[in-house]
């Protein structure tokens, strides 16, 4: 999984680039087999909101693009990667259904469906 980090409105030191890359790699490590490349754009370091824009190139699906803004850059990175993971989980679950698995998608396993039975 290749991770590339860019900044649009500030100098990106090697330390910040490395820290950002490691943060994304750690967050996405479970999905490494699905992800070919992640390109991150960071912006807004001089303003009240820091932005993290992620473009995730997948092996067999369309790209996933998310952007998140927070008060801190690390929090923006964390929230953006959380959103990507949520999207990847839904893609994986759709693949399970499309491939004809008898079991329900991972988000609706038996422990989760007990609440639906009473509805």
Q: Provide the whole-model pTM.
A: 0.72
* Token pair of 39 as six digits: 């390109």
Residues 13-64: tens digit of each pLDDT = 899 899 999 999 998 888 888 899 999 999 987 778 899 999 999 988 889 9
Give residue 108's pLDDT band: very low, low, confident or very high (50, 70, 90).
very low
Which pLDDT score is estimated for 31? 85
* Token pair of 57 as six digits: 């190139």
Degrees to nearest 5, angle at CA 90 with 108 and 3: 140
Which pLDDT score is estimated for 18? 92
Contacts of 115 (CB under 8 A, 6+ apart): none
CA-to-CA distance for 74 and 62, rounded, in angstroms? 26
Question: How far from 87 is each of 6, 44, 45, 65, CA to CA, in Å?
Answer: 23, 25, 27, 10
Residues 77-90: tens digit of each pLDDT = 999 999 999 988 88
The domain ranges of the chain are: 2-100
Which pLDDT score is estimated for 33? 85
**Three-state SS for 107?**
helix
Neighbours of 91 (CB within 10 A): 16
Which pLDDT score is estimated for 82? 93
Beta strands in 1-119, from DSSP E residues, in sequence order = 2-7, 35-43, 50-58, 64-70
CATH of domain 2-100: 3.30.160.100
């Amino acid at each position: 999984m290749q991770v590339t980090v860019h900044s649009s409105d500030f100098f990106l030191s090697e330390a910040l680039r490395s820290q950002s890359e490691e943060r994304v790699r750690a967050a996405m490590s479970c999905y490494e087999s699905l992800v070919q490349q992640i390109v991150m754009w960071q912006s807004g370091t001089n303003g009240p909101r820091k932005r993290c824009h992620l473009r995730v190139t997948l092996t067999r699906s369309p790209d996933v693009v998310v952007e998140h803004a927070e008060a801190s850059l690390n929090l923006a990175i964390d929230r953006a990667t959380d959103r990507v993971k949520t999207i990847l989980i839904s893609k994986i679950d759709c693949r399970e259904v499309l491939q004809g698995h008898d079991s329900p998608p991972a988000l609706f396993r038996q422990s989760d469906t007990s609440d639906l039975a009473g509805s």
